[in-house]
Amino acid sequence: MSHKRIPKRKAAIAVGGVVALGAAAILLPNANASQDGNNDASAAAPKTLKASGASDLAAQLQDLLGQAFAGSYYDSGKQQLVVNVINGDNNVIVQAENAGAVVRQVANSTSALEAAAATLKTKATIPGTAWAVDPKTNKVVVTADSTVTGSKWDTLESTVQSLGSNMATLKKSSGTFKTFVSGGDAIFSQVADGEVRCSLGFNVTASDGSPAFLTAGHCGVAAKDWSDTEGGQPIATVDQAQFPGDGDFSLVKYNDATTQAPSEVNIGNGQTVAINQAEEATVGTTVFRMGSTTGLHDGQVTGLDATVNFQSETDPNGVDTVTGLIQTNVCAEAGDSGGSLFTQDGGAVGLTSGGSGDCTSGGETFFQPVTTALQATGATLGDAGAGAGDAGATADPSATADPSATDGTGDQAGGDQIGGAADPSATAADPSDAAGDQTGTGDDTGTGEATGTGDQTGTGDQSGTGVSDNSNESSHHSKNR
């Protein structure tokens, strides 16, 4: 296939796939309406906050309280920020309460929890393990996947026990921790032993002003040149990549400097969520993840500054340790790596890294924070290139889907649907069909199939013609990352 400039609606191959909403994905757009607190006589009454407001307040209180700050989380039921403090200084408590938070005293300081995590790193860096601070329990939660058995389990268990039951807890996961390479709308790269498939997360503007996108770092170290079609000519080149170590992110620049790269996430049926800012994750907040294998799913942030020890893909006896990740209970599967984690209000939160489980049984998933990826690469969120792409209908990602619908969508790139203009009123595919690709034609009259476990691929033009490939592929030919 000869190289050609990407059509306008094809500029941003990232977060597509037919919508596959879980039944729990119900958010109330008008809830958490007040940012000013309750209008009563008590200055110390907790404020009612949106998740984004809670994140901002948490950052302010962390600076204000200093060493007394021991973490925070968002109570989504009451729409309140809960802040942990470690001493009984009434002045500290009053300051936090006057700022609008619910304050509770806890036993473990942030420094003590960090020291516990450091001990785990020194004594229990075992493939298939992960740990993160849970501010709700004020402990470090350690998770072991199904591969941690025998002497490895004994070592992990004894290390956790040495920290004390008031400091750390240990739980077992039925799945296996692995990187979820692929996701959103697929991007492809040819390598010596086959093809690597990943996903674009968010469109950004590189520090030199050129259009680019963020994806997972393990994708960027696996291959340098990326295409928007299977076996196609490269349309973007890796500029920076980090994996393993302090993060899992890549900055990939479009080869055509005039590429239109809109700052939005396509959630199917011609609907998009505009991405307005990068947001820090807060434990307890509801987030959405988009991926090519499983579509759109939601869940909650369960931990911050997580460390994950993946089995090395290049060394059978090695371990790829990644730090600084966000832990969630949002499901994901192979094919979802690099895809976007975002909020209903249009906040870019994370890039899919890896985890265990699937979208049938659930599991733990980990994400690279967008804020640190932007800081490390020097990129900024926002439309890049020669203007923005055409936006679809502004969508609420929590809207429920109609399982009886048969209309599908083609590949959907960078918030723009590259399979053609779909009817925003069209309903989505059955969320229970998570095991297979949910793809179809890009126009309203096409059909979407939810069968097979193959890659979601497709080509589309602005006139609305989308071709989807639901064929199964073996890992010998295509590596889902």
Average pLDDT over residues 222-238: 88
Average pLDDT over residues 275-303: 90
Q: For residues 17-43, b (16+ Cβ closer than 10 Å) or e, as one string?
A: bbbbbbeebebeeeebeeeebeeeeee
Q: Is the pLDDT of residue 1 over 80?
A: no
Q: What are the residue ranges spanned by the domains of the chain?
A: 1-28+109-481
Whole-number pLDDT of residue 114: 94
Q: Is 248 a catalytic residue?
A: yes
Alpha carbons 79 and 322: distance in angstroms, whole number:
32
Q: Which residue has the higher pLDDT, 450 or 172?
A: 172
Q: Is 358 a catalytic residue?
A: no
Per-residue pLDDT tens over the stretch 392-447 = 455 667 654 333 333 333 333 333 322 333 333 333 333 333 333 333 333 333 33
Q: Is the pLDDT of residue 73 over 90?
A: yes
Token code pair at residue 274: 């505009």
**Could you say which of 337, 353, 398, 468 is catalytic?**
337
- For the chain, give the mean pLDDT: 74
Amino acid sitting at position 74: Y
Whole-number pLDDT of residue 389: 42
Most confident listed range (27-36, 172-181, 332-341, 360-369): 360-369
Mean pLDDT check: name the lowest of 53-57, 179-183, 359-363. Answer: 179-183
Per-residue pLDDT tens over the stretch 164-211 = 999 999 999 888 887 754 224 567 787 777 777 787 899 999 999 999
Query: Which CATH code for domain 1-28+109-481?
Result: 2.40.10.120
- In this structure, the number of other CB atoms found within 10 A of the CB of residue 403 comes to 15
Alpha carbons 440 and 433: distance in angstroms, whole number:
14
If pLDDT is split at 50, 70 and 90, which confidence band does 367 have? very high
Q: Is the pLDDT of residue 119 over 60?
A: yes
> Which parts of 106-229 are beta strand (E)?
129-134, 139-144, 168-172, 178-179, 186-191, 194-199, 202-205, 211-215, 225-226
Cα angle value 417/418/423 (rounded, 5°): 45
If pLDDT is split at 50, 70 and 90, which confidence band does 275 have? very high
Q: Is the pLDDT of residue 140 over 50?
A: yes
Alpha carbons 456 and 81: distance in angstroms, whole number:
40
Q: Which residue has the higher pLDDT, 39 or 86?
A: 86
Q: Which residue has the higher pLDDT, 18 or 192?
A: 192
Q: Is the pLDDT of residue 335 over 90?
A: no
**Could you say which of 109, 182, 218, 298 is catalytic?**
218
Q: Is the pLDDT of residue 373 over 70?
A: yes
pTM, 2 dp: 0.69
Average pLDDT over residues 114-124: 95
Can you tell me which residue has the tokens 């990187």? Answer: 179
% the chain with pLDDT above 70: 68
